[in-house]
Amino acid sequence: MRFGVLTGGGDCPGLNGAIRGVVYRAAHFGHTTEGFLDGWKGLRDDLHRPLTPAELAESVTLGGTLLGTSRTNPFKAEADAEKVLATLSKNRIDVLVAIGGDDTLSAARELGRRGGKVVGVPKTMDNDVAATDWTFGFDSASSVAMDAVERLRDTARSHHRAIVLEVMGRNAGWVALATGLSAGADATLVPEEPYVEAKLMEQIRRAHARRGYALVVASEGIDLPLEGGGRAEGDQFGHALLRERGVGAWLAKRIEGATGIETRSAQIGHIQRGGPPTLFDRLLSTRLGAGAVDLALAGKFGHVAALHGGEVVGVTIEDATRATKVVDAAWLDLLHTFDA
């Protein structure tokens, strides 16, 4: 068999581990792999190169994606969709492994509907892909954000300040939740809950009174009364650039105004998406990359390799892309157990 592989959407730690999983697993059973460059753009524009186990030996340790990525949606225009199918047939690709989040997997679903043989690997630092317990990239990104809070704590404590850390996560609060819980924030704001200013100010006053400083973790996607909603249309999948809303800076001003406590904000932006993957993400990406090849070899096209209770299983792409996985009530209940 001849496998094709691409990585689409935002990069995250673990992508190279997944590519390595695909290439090694395919080679293990005597198959070859062609890597398509820059996500769906590579399929549309016929940009690719062969991938061999030898060149990928160390890739599991590296962040980013060695294939490049983009937020290209080839199914927005019929002419592009046809180019994707032509590239697959011209290069004699038997099955495509699409590694990506909701958008990339939705494009893979569309390719499947048009007769392309495709399997998927869910990834995203946002951890918001339905049908898998965890996505790789999330553990690494949240670990960076956790470390950022630890560092901000030193300044907050020394200057008796409140500090707000804004983290990524788009419309799901998993990164904020994990960061707030693991770093001991006094308040954690997620998009799944309404912004209640009086409650936030109370938490900050309480924390400051108790130990002389306060730490807040806020997700970039929380609903705030920003001018124009702060959500202009963005990429080809219709996502706005949320970091430009300035959630952290806005909150810091409100906090200082309401409480009189000197307040600062920090936005770690893409720093949280870079760097070497954590152990968890190396293992998960390796298992899911290899798992996608196993699905294809078993003829389970139209499926993604997903983690279910510790096991790698096949879930249909339709199910995996049905809805965004958001933080549920049980997690929110746990989170608020630790509010200041």
Q: Does 166 bind ligand F6P (CB under 6 A)?
A: no
- N-terminal to C-terminal alpha carbon distance within the chain: 57
Asked if 143 and 129 touch (Cβ cutoff 8 Å), the reply is no
Q: Does 124 bind ligand F6P (CB under 6 A)?
A: yes
Pick the piece of the chain touching ligand F6P (CB under 6 A) from 39-47, 163-171, 257-265, 326-334: 163-171
- List, in sequence order, every residue forming a beta bridge with 315; answer none if it has no partner: 304
User: Which of 109, 273, 303, 325 is close enough to bind ligand F6P by CB under 6 A?
Assistant: 273
Q: Minimum CB separation from ligand F6P for residue 273, in Å? A: 6
User: Which of 25, 48, 170, 205 is close enough to bind ligand F6P by CB under 6 A?
Assistant: 170
Round to whole Å and give the CA distance between 95 and 169: 31
Round to whole Å and give the CA distance between 123 and 128: 9
Owner of token pair 């998009």: 191
Q: Minimum CB separation from ligand F6P for residue 124, in Å? A: 5
How is residue 17 written in tokens?
């581990």
Considering beta carbons, is residue 101 or 116 the nearer one to ligand F6P?
A: 101
Q: Minimum CB separation from ligand F6P for residue 272, in Å? A: 8
Considering beta carbons, is residue 125 or 178 the nearer one to ligand F6P?
A: 125
User: Which of 10, 74, 116, 289 is close enough to bind ligand F6P by CB under 6 A?
Assistant: 10
Q: Minimum CB separation from ligand F6P for residue 63, in Å? A: 13
| 3-state DSSP assignment of residue 156 | helix
How is residue 323 written in tokens?
């809805």
Return phi, psi of residue 49, to 5°.
-155, 155
Considering beta carbons, is residue 34 or 126 the nearer one to ligand F6P?
A: 126
How is residue 299 written in tokens?
């003829």
Q: How many residues bind ligand F6P (CB under 6 A)?
A: 12
**CA atoms 39, 42, 47, 53: torsion sign:** positive
Q: Does 125 bind ligand F6P (CB under 6 A)?
A: yes
Question: Which spans in 190-328 are helix H?
Answer: 197-211, 247-259, 279-297, 317-320
**CA atoms 259, 263, 269, 271: torsion sign:** negative
Considering beta carbons, is residue 3 or 174 the nearer one to ligand F6P?
A: 174
Q: Minimum CB separation from ligand F6P for residue 162, in Å? A: 24
User: Which of 4, 169, 180, 230 is close enough to bind ligand F6P by CB under 6 A?
Assistant: 169
Q: Is 139 marked active-site?
A: no
Q: In what helix (H) or strand (E) does residue 119 lie, and over which residues does it extend?
A: strand 118-122
Round to whole Å and give the CA distance between 284 and 169: 20
From the list 126, 128, 139, 186, the catalytic residue is 126
Asked if 34 and 17 touch (Cβ cutoff 8 Å), the reply is no
| 3-state DSSP assignment of residue 153 | helix
Per CB under 6 A, which of residues 17..56 are in contact with ligand F6P? none
Q: Does 323 bind ligand F6P (CB under 6 A)?
A: no
User: Which of 126, 139, 186, 281 is close enough to bind ligand F6P by CB under 6 A?
Assistant: 126
Residues annotated as catalytic are 126
Which residues lie near ligand F6P (CB under 6 A)?
10, 101, 124-126, 168-170, 220, 241-242, 273
